[in-house]
Every structure is written in C-alpha cells, then in structure tokens.
Amino acid sequence: MEWFVELRGRHGMAVVVRGAGARDQLVAALERNEVAVLVCDRDLGRRGVGVDFFGERTTLPSGPAWLARTCDAPLIPVAIYHVGGGRHRGVALAPIPVQHTDDERDDVAVTTQRLAGALEVLVGAAPEQWHLMVPNWPSDTGASPGDAVPSDPPGLQR
C-alpha cells in the first residue's frame, strides 16, 4: 500500500486509507471543496446498504451517499474505460440526486439505490472491463438471493 500512496502523492493526490479516521479525513476534504474519489462498486465488508443491482439483491457501501448527504456534496458516478492503444476515456454521469429528509438512514438507502442504478449504466457500457476479484452477489457463493443481505446499514457510522 505504501507504494500506491507514494505514487499517487507524486501526482498531487492524497490517499485516504480505509480505517479509523478515514471518514473524518474525507469530510474535511469535502469541506475544503476538494474532490473525494471513492471505489463504491462493491461492499467488501458486507455491512453496507441493501440494493437491487443487475437484478439481484446485494449490498453497496453507504459511505458515498452518507458523505454526499452530510457534506451537501454532489455524488457523481464516474468510470474509466480502456479504449485501446494505451488510451483511456473517462465518463461522468449527471450528479445523483441526494435525498435529504429527517430520516438519515432512509436517505442513505435511497441515494445508494440511485447510485446502484448509475453503476448499472456505467458497468453495462463495457461489462468486460468490470473486474470482480471477490463474490459480489449471494448467488456467487451459492447462497440464496435473500440470505444475509441487509435492507439498510446495521450501524450507520456518524
């Protein structure tokens, strides 16, 4: 991980490593009007928000929706595609509407489902370029689609 942080740092990027203090660092960056880029197409900890994603129930991380809601920041889905010849093309969709009501948990769930829909568009444009190194859906592990997939985050961190 050290080499990754160093390499990105040479290009002016600050890498926030997942773990204690990461949320506060991201909030501070957004409050300074900096851009925060999050990998959000899979929930490795399986503690995220239950969503419908490509026709099956799974989870996605709650962090992007929570940060957008908390910091009143735009949530912009982006993908980078390899186009050949050592070239790449970046695509950004329109900002996802971030729900703001008195129910933070529901707001995060609704916004995360909207993010799942945007990810379906981005992944669907070139599914052969989306690489999963771990199971993403319950059916990937032989479980039934309703097994152990929460409908909302069990302990939304603030």
**CA–CA dist 39, 42 (Å, integer):** 8
**CA–CA dist 158, 155 (Å, integer):** 9
What percent of the chain clears pLDDT 70, i.e. is strictly above it? Answer: 87
Q: Is residue 99 part of a domain?
A: yes
Structure tokens at 123: 């992944």
- Domains: count for the chain: 1
pLDDT band at 142 (very low <50, low <70, confident <90, very high): low
What tens digit of pLDDT does each residue of 97-113 get? 999 999 999 999 999 99
Q: Is residue 8 part of a domain?
A: no
What tens digit of pLDDT does each residue of 20-67 get? 899 999 999 999 999 999 988 988 777 899 999 999 999 999 999 999
- Domain of 105? 38-141
Q: Is residue 30 part of a domain?
A: no
Backbone phi, psi, residue 15, to 5°: -95, 125
